[in-house]
DNA sequence: CACTACATTTTGATTCACCT
DNA sequence: AGGTGAATCAAAATGTAGTG
């Protein structure tokens, strides 16, 4: 692009004024008519040289200094010697760097040589033809095609990943958005569009989501075809070492974070791991998603049928299988998951109700292990998930135990199976925000109970199970927003406390927590 | 200086290593 | 065994650092 721009400039890089060009051509023409000095050089060059000399007031006799072909050749050689072997500077910059004192030879001064070069270069074409571009393009293709690193050149037909719903929205809106806000930087545009996307009405958002899903399905089919045609393109199974590479790739690992949250769990003395081992059979863990359910089923099936195949391979198979799963199959899987999840909820609720009242909170705590993930991972931007909020939690965790307590407090309220009347009511601190319902289902239940005060919980449950996908999404969104608001309010609440209040709050919560944990220990 | 590689922002889908 | 979480990758334009 810069070369095209340069081609519009004068040889010295400065932009020629149209008036100036006109003036020069008139001058050249008039001189051409009266002079015949082109003994061995291009007429135009000599004439131009003449005007230059006149303008620079260097004496009229220099105009007629002769340049034989041999001397001109020698000049070119001298200039060539001044250029480094690996010269990659643009013409104008290189020209400015040439030391004409080193070029000068025989009776020609540095100025003579410089001027002569200016004249010669006038006769050189400064633009490139299409065929020249094509020639270079072929050379580039040859070069790039041989590079094993260049995937695009190696597999030009490889389908590109489909855009996510947000990406579709971003691409669609970016142009008009930047036009309306030309001062915004690209990063700001992305941030604002991200916010706008999140605030998008559900119906509009669904359009993008659906389209994205369609694209995703097409991509899967295309990839399947591509891998059939190019089995060599199938990525080789990665070794354990490759994880290090992945970590050191584009996104730097946050050093202030523990390697993973599970180690954090064990480090802080929490017995989450132990609890899983001692109190629950693995098979009792309900699937957390449709994918999880499918994976569970596939892996179990494989377990029976192909016990000799390594787990990693089976997981890979599962991933591959997922790649080629049809939309219908996926829907079925999703429905299956919803049904399983609802069954689990119902079973869990009746189990909780069957427990003695003092055991219920502990049982709730055992199963609601993932508050951080649920609240933070799902409802905050990725960056916040990874750093700010997590850091905030861990920072406070280390020094100020008051945050642990709300966390646990929230845990007990965040369980999908929680019935309001099962939660021991804890007094709220002054200004402390009220906890939101723990699940989308609870929001639905609350609404349901408000509208049908006579109806019992089981009818709400069966209604929830039959709820359309759209309505479930609606309640999920409401739930998300409520949780997000609570997080923000809670953070603001903590910030608003002075040291004494914080101690007081911390102490209150610690006492509550001690009660809870002693119960918990007993239970274990 | 020219050029290249990478980081920056956003969301969501996908993949897969790792840990319990 | 399998749940979890981190990495990656799609798009865009621009800035920056490193290399030659």
pLDDT category of residue A347 using cuts at 50, 70 and 90 = very low
pLDDT of residue A265 exceeding 70: no
Closest Cα partner for A298 from A285, A283, A315? A315
pLDDT at A196: 79
- pLDDT for the residue A242: 36
Is residue A44 in some structural domain?
A: no
| Cα–Cα distance for residue pair A294/A284, rounded to 1 Å | 16
End-to-end CA distance of chain A: 71
Give me the pLDDT at residue A204, please: 77
C1' of B7 to CA of A251 (Å): 9
Query: Which residue's CA shows the smallest distance to C1' of C2?
Result: A296
A221: domain CATH number is 1.10.30.10
The pLDDT, as a whole number, for residue A502 is 60
**CB–CB of A122/A12 below 8 Å?**
no
β-pair partners for A270: none
CA A316 – CA A310 distance, rounded (Å): 10
Structural domain boundaries enclosing A469: 440-499
Distance (Å) of CA A362 to CA A67, A352, A368, A418, A424: 100, 10, 10, 12, 11
- As a whole number of angstroms, the distance between CA A153 and CA A143 comes to 10
Nucleotide nearest to A167 (CA to C1'): C11
Domain boundary among A208, A232, A256: A232
- For residues A141 and A167, state if they share a domain: no
Mean predicted confidence (pLDDT) in A357-386: 36
Q: Would you say residue A393 lies in a domain?
A: no
Q: Which of A468, A403, A473, A401 is nearest to A443 (CA)?
A: A473
| pTM beyond cutoff 0.75 | no
| Shared domain check, A164 and A224 | yes
In this prediction, what percent of chain A has a pLDDT beyond 70?
29
Q: C1' nearest to CA of A312: which nucleotide?
A: B16
The answer to whether residue A444 sits within a structural domain is yes
With a cut of 60, say whether residue A227 has pLDDT above it.
yes
Q: Is there a single domain that holds both residue A131 and residue A97?
A: yes
A138 and A180 belong to one structural domain: no
CA distance A439 to A413: 9
Name the nucleotide nearest A93; use CA and C1': B1
Q: Report if residue A508 sits inside a domain.
A: no
Better pLDDT: A476 or A30: A476
Would A352 be classed as within a structural domain?
Answer: yes
List bases, strand C, within 7 Å of protein CB.
1-14, 20
Position A306 pLDDT exceeds 70? no
Neighbours of A374 (CB within 10 A): 18
Decide if A421 is inside a domain: no
Protein-to-nucleotide distance from the CA of A142 to the C1' of B7, whole angstroms: 30
> What's the rounded mean pLDDT across residues A262-266?
30
Q: Considering A313, A337, A363, which residue would you say is the last residue of a domain?
A: A363
Contacts of A446 (CB under 8 A, 6+ apart): A437
Which protein residue lies nearest to nucleotide B12, measured between its Cα and the C1' atom? A164
Q: Is A298 helix (H, G, I), strand (E, B) or coil?
A: helix
> Of all nucleotides in the shown strands, which has a C1' nearest the CA of A249?
C7
pLDDT at A410 over 70: no
| Lowest mean pLDDT segment, chosen from A63-67, A201-205, A300-304, A481-485 | A300-304
Would you say A416 and A476 are in contact if contact means Cβ atoms under 8 Å apart?
Answer: no
What pLDDT score does A221 carry?
Answer: 75
End residue of a domain, out of A363, A386, A405: A363
Q: Are A435 and A406 in contact (CB under 8 A)?
A: no
Average pLDDT, rounded, for chain A: 53
Asked if A175 and A135 sit in the same domain, the reply is: no
How many folded domains does chain A comprise? 4
């Amino acid at each position: 692009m810069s070369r095209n721009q340069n081609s519009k400039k004068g040889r010295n890089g400065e932009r020629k004024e149209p008036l100036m060009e006109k003036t020069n051509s008139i001058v050249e023409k008039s001189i051409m008519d009266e002079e015949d000095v082109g003994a061995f050089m291009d007429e135009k060059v000599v004439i131009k040289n003449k005007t230059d000399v006149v303008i620079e007031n260097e004496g009229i006799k220099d105009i007629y200094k002769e340049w034989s072909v041999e001397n001109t050749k020698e000049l070119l050689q001298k200039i060539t010697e001044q250029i480094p072997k690996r010269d990659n500077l643009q013409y104008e910059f290189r020209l400015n760097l040439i030391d004409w004192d080193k070029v000068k030879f025989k009776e020609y001064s540095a100025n003579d040589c410089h001027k002569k070069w200016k004249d010669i270069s006038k006769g050189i074409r400064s633009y490139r033809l299409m065929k020249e571009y094509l020639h270079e393009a072929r050379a580039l293709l040859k070069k790039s095609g041989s590079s094993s690193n260049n995937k695009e050149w190696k597999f030009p037909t490889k389908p590109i990943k489909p855009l996510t719903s947000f990406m579709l929205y971003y691409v669609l809106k970016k142009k008009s958005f930047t036009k309306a806000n030309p001062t915004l930087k690209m990063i700001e545009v992305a941030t604002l569009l991200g916010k706008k996307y999140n605030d998008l009405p559900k119906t509009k958002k669904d359009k993008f989501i659906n389209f994205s899903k369609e694209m995703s399905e097409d991509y899967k089919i295309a990839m399947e075809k591509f891998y059939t045609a190019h089995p060599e393109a199938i990525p080789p199974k990665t070794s354990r070492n490759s994880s290090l590479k992945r970590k050191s790739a584009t996104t730097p690992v946050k050093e202030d974070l523990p390697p993973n949250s599970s180690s954090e769990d064990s480090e802080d003395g929490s017995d989450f791991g132990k609890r899983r081992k001692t109190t629950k059979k693995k098979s009792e863990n309900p699937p957390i998603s449709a994918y999880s359910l499918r994976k569970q089923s596939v892996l179990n099936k494989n377990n029976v049928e192909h016990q000799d195949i390594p787990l990693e391979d089976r997981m890979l198979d599962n991933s591959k299988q997922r790649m080629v799963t049809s939309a219908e199959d996926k829907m079925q899987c999703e429905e299956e998951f919803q049904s399983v999840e609802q069954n689990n909820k119902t079973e869990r609720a009746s189990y909780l109700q069957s427990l003695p009242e003092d055991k219920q909170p502990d049982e709730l705590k055992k199963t609601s292990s993932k508050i951080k993930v649920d609240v933070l991972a799902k409802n905050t931007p990725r960056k916040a998930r990874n750093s700010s909020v997590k850091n905030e939690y861990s920072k406070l965790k280390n020094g100020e135990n008051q945050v642990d307590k709300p966390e646990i407090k929230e845990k007990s309220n965040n369980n999908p199976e929680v019935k309001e009347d099962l939660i021991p009511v804890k007094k709220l601190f002054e200004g402390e925000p009220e906890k939101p319902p723990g699940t989308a289902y609870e929001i639905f239940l609350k609404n349901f109970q408000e509208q049908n005060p006579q109806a019992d919980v089981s009818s709400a449950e069966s209604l929830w199970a039959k709820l359309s996908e759209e309505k479930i999404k609606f309640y999920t969104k409401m739930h998300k927003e409520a949780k997000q608001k609570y997080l923000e309010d809670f953070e603001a609440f903590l910030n608003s406390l002075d040291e004494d209040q914080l101690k007081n709050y911390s102490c209150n919560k610690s006492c509550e927590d001690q009660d809870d944990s002693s119960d918990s220990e007993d239970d274990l």
